[in-house]
């Protein structure tokens, strides 16, 4: 899924548009603005990226390497020797991060910034990855070659088993108590399973959501936020699977975040927008802003300490010629144009 862009959903916007506020919740919500635009360049595609909760550094997997940036977008390290890395998940208690790659998961020491272990996952092509502190386990979500989740002991790297998910998994979140929730894109479902027993606990339809992709979680109010490709963000009560609210968003969503400090939920979309919705109550949400990003900036990261939003994109050229193996090629990335956008309050 590296560098996944839906052509029909790409367009460029040039300014931040704040919707007309209504009610006290909307008027009190912070307004985001572009504080930094950094052209990083460098080779490789991109997909999921994240902020290290300990250092505030932004880790961006680029396939064969991982770019590490400070909160202002300055490059502080470029970690080599990665293998087609798609995503990253942090384990602050272990001082490690886990990387999903082609047929493997790699373990990164966040102190030395060196890859210290390669865990092979034969026959699987992991995409999203999640660390669950309650079970001290890492889960890769394998959309190709299995439609399942692979469980790994975070401390030994031992494969512990798998969880069949019944469809193509996208992003996942843990509730802090050993329960894992994952979007199943082609079934319009959320599947919940036990991190220790690897047993399915629930399978919920999240209609009217279609093709759920990104996911965020509010552990205080027990809510999941699923970004859907029919331009909705579905809010799901994970105690019973009920969809309690839907929020209109842009086209081509691929990441969602929730900031418990501000009560804001975010959906980043490839059409060049991030929808910002305020949690007025656990079951009521008001869209307070549409942030204009750039074409293709469909993934994002959030620092819940400084409340910054980070997103990335590049300039695109025409796609390469279609082949039998790749009949619908993605647009080509113009060299040296990979760019980080930082939005703050």
Q: 66-124, pLDDT tens digit by residue? A: 999 999 999 999 999 998 899 999 999 999 999 998 899 999 999 999 999 999 999 99
State percent of the chain over pLDDT 70: 92
Residue 260 has pLDDT above 70, yes or no: yes
DSSP 197-262: T--EEEEEE-TT--SEEEEEEETTTTEEEEEETTTEEEEEETTTTEEEEEEE--SSEEEEEEETTT
Over the stretch 177-220, which tens digit does the pLDDT of each residue have?
A: 999 999 999 999 999 999 999 999 999 999 999 999 999 999 99
Domains in the chain (CATH in brackets) are 7-39+206-321+336-345 (2.130.10.10), 44-196 (2.130.10.10)
Over the stretch 268-304, which tens digit does the pLDDT of each residue have?
A: 999 999 999 999 999 999 999 999 999 999 999 999 9
pTM of the model: 0.90
């Amino acid at each position: 899924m590296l560098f996944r862009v839906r052509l029909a959903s790409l367009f460029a916007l040039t300014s931040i548009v704040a919707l007309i506020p209504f009610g006290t919740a909307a008027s009190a919500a912070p307004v985001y603005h572009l504080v930094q635009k950094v052209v990083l360049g460098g080779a490789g595609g991109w997909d999921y990226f994240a902020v290290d909760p300990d250092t505030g550094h932004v880790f961006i997997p680029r396939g064969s390497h991982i770019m590490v940036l400070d909160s202002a977008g300055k490059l502080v390290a470029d970690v080599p020797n990665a293998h087609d890395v798609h995503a990253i998940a942090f384990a602050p208690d272990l001082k490690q991060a886990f990387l999903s790659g082609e047929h493997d998961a790699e373990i990164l020491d966040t102190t030395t910034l060196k890859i210290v272990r390669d865990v092979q996952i034969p026959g699987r092509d992991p995409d999203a990855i999640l660390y669950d502190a309650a079970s001290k386990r890492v889960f890769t979500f394998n959309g190709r070659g299995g439609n399942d989740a692979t469980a790994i002991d975070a401390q030994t790297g031992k494969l512990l088993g798998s969880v069949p998910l019944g469809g193509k998994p996208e992003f996942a979140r843990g509730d802090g108590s050993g329960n894992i929730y994952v979007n199943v894109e082609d079934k319009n479902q959320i599947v919940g399973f036990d991190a220790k027993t690897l047993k399915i606990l629930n399978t919920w339809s999240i209609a009217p959501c279609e093709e759920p992709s990104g996911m965020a979680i509010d552990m205080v109010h027990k809510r999941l936020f699923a970004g859907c490709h029919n331009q909705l963000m579905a809010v799901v009560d994970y105690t019973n699977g009920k969809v309690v609210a839907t929020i209109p968003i842009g086209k081509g969503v691929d990441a969602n975040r929730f900031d418990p400090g501000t009560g804001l939920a975010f959906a980043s979309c490839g059409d060049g927008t991030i929808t910002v919705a305020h949690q007025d109550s656990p079951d009521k949400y008001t869209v307070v802003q549409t942030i204009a990003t750039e074409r293709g900036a469909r993934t994002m990261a959030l620092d819940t300490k400084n409340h910054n939003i980070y997103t990335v994109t590049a300039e695109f050229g025409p796609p390469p010629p279609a082949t039998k193996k790749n009949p619908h090629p993605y647009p080509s990335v113009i060299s040296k144009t990979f760019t980080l956008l930082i939005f703050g309050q």
